[in-house]
Amino acid sequence: MRRPSVRLAALATALLLPFVAACGDGSSADGGEGDGKKGTTLTVLAAASLTDVFRQAGDAYEKAHPGTKVTFSFAGSQELASQVRQGVPADALVTADAKTMDGLSRETGEPVVIARNRLTIATARDNPKHVKGLADLARKDLKVVLAAPEVPVGRYSRKVLDRQHIAVRPVSQEPNVRAVLSKVTLGEADAGIVYVTDAAAAKGKVATVAVPDAQNAVADYPAATLKSSRHAGEAAEFVRWLKSAEAQRLLGAAGFQRP
């Protein structure tokens, strides 16, 4: 007499199983991963001199834009340009000079300058070689390191040296400004020309010798979206945000000048 009850229970269980499975596989409307509402990850290619401040900026942006994550790839501007031409997946680009950005006009949206920078001389702590200015970099007793000519900071460095008719024979030519700074901090060079912001980031590890405004060069930092971006709207929003009061405050605190 119990067989009908057993059959009914089995039938009820069979009918309930699909419903239970649907509730447990993440495809419900409760905001789980299966509902298609995943966050956006933006990849930003940025000049090496922006390393410290952009890490702070990324945190600030993510806090103000829930659901969006920003990842950065830092390198010399010329390396970033090569990556863009090779089709490396990314959403936005920020270089340390307008020339590099202008050469990528087919791959980018309209660039906007978000900050400016200037050069300074970095020396070993306490400046043991008593470097006083650009002219001293020509001294034979100094080991001077510069960025390579194709790197924005290297191009700016040679520009200011040439204008002052100062002939410098660097012991090495580095791929980006952080590599120049590293040579000085490690004692492999007595002096090098870097951006003011990079020297500030190494405070306590190097001494600095100011380059007078009349002898200095101004570096523009343009930002632009990449036409190959899979998140065009979000990338454009990030570039716009770099001009916002919050982003400009962070850049100013790091030593960058307003555009």
pLDDT in tens, 182-217: 999 999 999 999 999 999 999 999 999 999 999 999
pLDDT band at 7 (very low <50, low <70, confident <90, very high): very low
Give yes or no for residue 30 having a pLDDT over 80: no
Class at the top of the CATH hierarchy for domain 117-218: alpha beta
Same fold, 38-116+220-253 and 117-218: yes
> pLDDT tens digit string along 34-46?
333 468 999 999 9
Give the angle 182-183-185 at the CA atoms, nearest 5°: 60
Mean pLDDT of the chain: 88
pLDDT band at 17 (very low <50, low <70, confident <90, very high): very low
Determine which of 27-36, 69-78, 97-106 has the lowest per-residue pLDDT on average: 27-36
Element (H, E) at 192: strand 191-195
3 state DSSP class of 145: strand
> How high is the pLDDT of residue 216?
97
- The torsion angles phi and psi of 102, rounded to 5 degrees, stand at -60, -30
Tell me if 196 sits within 8 A of 160, measured CB to CB: no
> How high is the pLDDT of residue 158?
97
> How high is the pLDDT of residue 32?
33
DSSP E strands in 2-39: the ranges are none
> How high is the pLDDT of residue 63?
97
What are the sequence ranges of the domains in the chain? 38-116+220-253, 117-218
Mean pLDDT over 12-26 rounds to 39
Give yes or no for residue 83 having a pLDDT over 80: yes
Whole-number Å distance between alpha carbons of 246 and 92: 19
How does DSSP assign 53-93, residue by residue? Answer: HHHHHHHHHHHHSTTEEEEEEEE-HHHHHHHHHTT---SEE
- Alpha carbon 137 to chain centroid, angstroms: 29
Residues 6+ apart with CB under 8 A from 186: none
Would you tell me how many other CB atoms lie within 10 Å of the CB of residue 20?
Answer: 10
Tell me which amino acid residue 37 is: K
Q: What CATH number was assigned to the domain covering residues 38-116+220-253?
A: 3.40.190.10
